[in-house]
Structure formats: structure tokens, C-alpha cells
Amino acid sequence: MQAICRFNTTNSKKKSVQWYNESILPLLWGKTFSSPQTVLNQFDQIITTADGKLIDNTRTIEEDICKTLLAKGVTPSTLIWDPTNFFTYIEKGGALPQKGASKEKRFDKNIVSLGLVVSKENIPLMHTVYEGDVHESKTFSALVDALYTRLSRVSKDANDFVIIFDKGNNSEENIPFVNNRFHFIGGLKKNQLKHLFNVGLENFEELYTSRNGNIVNGYRTKEMVYGKPYTIVVCFNQKSFDKQKLKTEESVKKISRRFEKLALKLSAKKKGKPTTIKGVSVQVYDFLYKQYRALFTWRFNEQTQVLTWSVNQDAFREREKTYGKNLVFTDLDGWATADIAKTYNSKAIVESDFRVLKDRLVISAKPFFGRLDNRLRMHLFTCVLSLVLYRYMLFKLKDLKLTEPVIREEIRNMRLAFVKEDGSNSVKKVLENMTPIQVRIYNCLGLEKYVP
């Protein structure tokens, strides 16, 4: 009930129960909920024992769903892992809400982290909820181990599956750990194998054209990484190069203007205590963000109260070599270069899931009405279940070649009426007139069984 409710409302449990009881679902399911406390009690039974100890039966439920999805044609041969987080207004909660690296730049708020593993069809097969101040690399090994255990129970081919992950999960411990369980395609940080950024584009070959028309080129080699020789592919996208270069140039101009403004302010100061280097540093780092600090050199003379700065042209040129490029590494030595690059870049589909979970018009995980850890875990679990239902529905409708907004709008406009004929006590379910698109969706999803 709560998972379906996320499609229609972002309200509290109280209003969710009210919405459910006023919807068509009680007529289809033959069940109503008397109060929000009934729902909360059932939530608590799933994730805690009677004496309040954490048991988290969501893992068992999720595994059953995973098994069902595989039986319905979802293929786990390619798995994509990516984390995100949500800022909250929780000030006094449990262990989950903590200050951390907010994806939404709300560093003033406590955040809760969520990680998803999805199939190549973009259907979630596993999730994990963890503390907002814990880096993703610290949870990766436990996630991989749990994922391998789950897939080994539902499939005989778990060792042949490929997991895709970003560079934030890398560590000397994590890479051997994952490689002992799955094949993998991962990203490398730009400070690793820096010499590969000096390879000229004339040594790259065209690999494929992306869905949005961008040509992806690649250079393939083999290098020692994390104690083993792995296949390395340097991917290059000209459009990304242009965007990153433009963004950096605009940021450099903006930061230079802030330096000018601060220098004038310091030189105009005539009264009070002289400004210290420490005081200037606080003001400088308020606008000179970490990713741009290597591009600027600045000095402040406490005696003359003069601030000087310049753009580090050597650092600027070195950074330009990295624009539009990604370093990808894998143990799949037998794969074609284009397949490695294309499979790694498919990880962007998880970002679309996170956008859905942060979109109030689709499945909004926010606001968080609870503050206790068990309630937060159950809340995010129902949001992930809602996402599973949504993605599986799109999977079934993929042959219709319709966009997600069109599908959502057409389904929302379907109407089921209950008609009572004159002189009869019987009530019939009747569909209102449907558009041609609604008819196609209706038939594809097999909705006729709900309208006998």
C-alpha cells in the first residue's frame, strides 16, 4: 500500500492511509486500514523484534522480489551500483541522519544515504541505507558480499555477472574483494595513471555514438592498478570536453572577480585591527572551492594589507588535458573496447532513478516525516519498492516506444467507474472511454483482469 501511495502523494502516514481508504484499492484488495498506527506497527514488525532489536526483514522481502523479477525476464548479468543521499530537517534523530557530503549542497543539514544496485533494465535489485557521514567506499565491500550471496541463491551464474561502479568506491581492499566475486568495470580517479592523459587524440579510435548523438572515442592499454594488471580504456567525448572547458573558464572568471572585490575591500579598510592571513583565508575559501584551488596562486601581505593573486597557467593546461576523458578499468580482457566503454557509461541510468526519487511529481522520498532509524529505513524501503514497481511497469511497456511522462500522464487519466443499473442491485466495473495510447497500455499491462 505504502509503495503504491508514493506515486500519488508525499504525505505523512496519516494522510497516506486516508488516501488509500478513499482510493479504488480497498475495492480491489478487500482491505482497509483503520489508522496510521496500524501501518506503523506493521512497519516495525518488518524491521524490529518485539523488544526493539533490529532484524531488517526487508532483505528477505527484497530477495523474494529479486527472484520473482528474474523469473519474469529481468537479467542480472550486468549490475550497476551507485549511491546518493537526501538532506533532511531532522536535528535529533538516530545514527542515520548525519552531516556529510550532501549531493544537493545542503551542508547545513543532516543527510541520509541510499545506495542502489540496478539491472541493465534499470530495475532495482538491492538497496542499502547508511549513515550520512559514511563514505560510499566504506559500505562497498559489505554491499558486494550481500549482493553476491543473494544472487548466488537465485542464480547459478553469479560469478559471471558484471558489476559497474564509480571511482568513489575504489580502495586497496575493495577492488580485490569485488574481483573475487564478480567481473567488474570501474572508474579511476584523475590523479591515477596521469600519464594516460598525455596520449594524443590521434591514438584514439571511434567506439560508438551515444543516444544523444555524441561520438565516444577510446584508447586501450594495460596498466598495473591496485596490485594487478587490468585493461584500461580512456574514453573521450568532445561534447563533454567543450562543456567542462567552458564551465572551468566561467568559474575562473567568476573567482577572479571575487578576488578583485576582496582586494578592494581590504585596501579600503582604514580602521580597526589589521586583517590577518587567517582572516583572509576564511574569506578566500568561501568562494575558491576545492576543485579550483590548484588553478590559483594567492598571497596576502599582512604589513601592507595587499592581496595579490594569479591564475596558474601550467595547472590550467594540465587540467585541460583531462576534459571529456574518463579512465575505466576492468578485468574483462576479452571484451571489445566499445563494449567496455558503453557498459561503463550505462551507469548513468541510476542517476535517472535518483532523479525520480527526488521528483515530487513521480516518487518523492522527501519529506522525511520520521526521525528514528527503523522508520527511516522502512520509509526508504517503501520508496525503493515503489521504484521497482515503476521501473518494471516501464520494462513491460518498452515495446510501445513511449516516453515516461506520456506513460505517467495517460495512466493517471484512466478512469474506472462503478455503475448500478436501474432495478438491479448488482454493480459493474466499467472503464471510461480510453485514448488510443491508453488502450495500448491497458492491453500491454493486462489490466483487463481488474475489470471483469
Whether 332 and 273 share a structural domain: yes
Specify which of 181-195, 263-277, 437-451 reaches the highest per-range mean pLDDT. Answer: 181-195
Instruction: Tell whether 74 is covered by a domain.
Output: yes
Domain that holds residue 243: 167-171+181-336
Instruction: Tell me what pLDDT residue 49 has.
Output: 65
Give this prediction's pTM. Answer: 0.86
3-state SS string over 230-297? Answer: EEEEEEEEHHHHHHHHHHHHHHHHHHHHHHHHHHHHHHHCCCCCCCCHHHHHHHHCCCCCHHHHHHEE
pLDDT at 363: 84
Same-domain check for residues 78 and 110? yes
Peptide bond into 274 cis (omega under 30): no
Residue 134 has a pLDDT of 95
Question: Edge-to-edge strands of the sheet including 228-237?
Answer: 124-131, 111-119, 78-87, 162-165, 183-188, 325-330, 228-237, 215-225, 205-209
Q: Do residues 281 and 390 both lie within one domain?
A: no
Inside any domain, residue 451: no
Between 209 and 417, the more confident residue is 209
pLDDT surpasses 70 at 8:
no
Whether residue 243 is found in the same domain as residue 373: no
* Cβ-Cβ contacts under 8 Å for 342 (sequence gap 6 or more): 207, 208, 216
**How high is the pLDDT of residue 17?**
79
427 within domain boundaries: yes
Share of the chain above pLDDT 90, in %: 64
Q: Is the pLDDT of residue 35 over 90?
A: no
Q: Are residues 220 and 299 in the same domain?
A: yes
- Considering the domain architecture, whether residues 35 and 148 belong to the same structural domain is answered as yes
Determine the pLDDT at residue 50. Answer: 63
Confidence band, pLDDT 50/70/90 cuts, at residue 297: very high
Of 30-39, 279-288, 332-341, minimum mean pLDDT range: 30-39
Closest C-alpha to 183, from 314, 78, 43, 294: 78
- Identity of the amino acid at 191: N
Structure confidence at residue 11 as a pLDDT band (50, 70, 90): low
Evaluate whether residue 449 is within a structural domain: no
Burial class (CB in 10 A: 0-12, 13-18, 19+), 203: exposed
Question: Residue 291: pLDDT above 80?
Answer: yes
Question: Does residue 390 sit in the same domain as residue 274?
Answer: no
Mean pLDDT estimate for the chain: 89
In this prediction, residue 54 carries a pLDDT of: 61
Q: Are residues 27 and 134 in the same domain?
A: yes
pLDDT digits (tens, 9 = 90+) for 193-206: 999 999 999 999 99
Q: By three-state DSSP, how is residue 195 classified?
A: helix
Residue 101 lies in a domain: yes
The candidate with the shortest Cα–Cα distance to 140, out of 172, 106, 109, 111, is 172
Mean pLDDT confidence for 165-192: 94
452: in domain: no
200 and 328 both lie in a single domain:
yes
Check whether residue 20 and residue 127 sit in a common domain. yes
Structure confidence at residue 145 (pLDDT): 94
5 pLDDT exceeds 90?
no
Residues 83-142 have pLDDT tens digits of: 999 999 998 888 999 999 999 889 899 999 999 999 999 999 999 999 999 999 999 999
Structure confidence by residue, pLDDT tens digits, 351-407: 888 888 888 777 888 888 788 888 899 889 989 999 999 999 999 999 999 999 999
Does residue 390 sit within a domain?
Answer: yes
Domain count within the chain: 3
Going by pLDDT thresholds of 50, 70 and 90, the confidence category of residue 10 is low
Residue 274 lies in a domain: yes
In a shared domain, residues 219 and 330: yes
The answer to whether residues 329 and 352 belong to one domain is: no
Across 322-333, average pLDDT = 97
Q: Burial code of 130-162, b = ≥16 C-beta within 10 A, e = fewer? A: bbbeeebbebbbebbeebbebbeebbeebeebb
Burial class (CB in 10 A: 0-12, 13-18, 19+), 36: middle
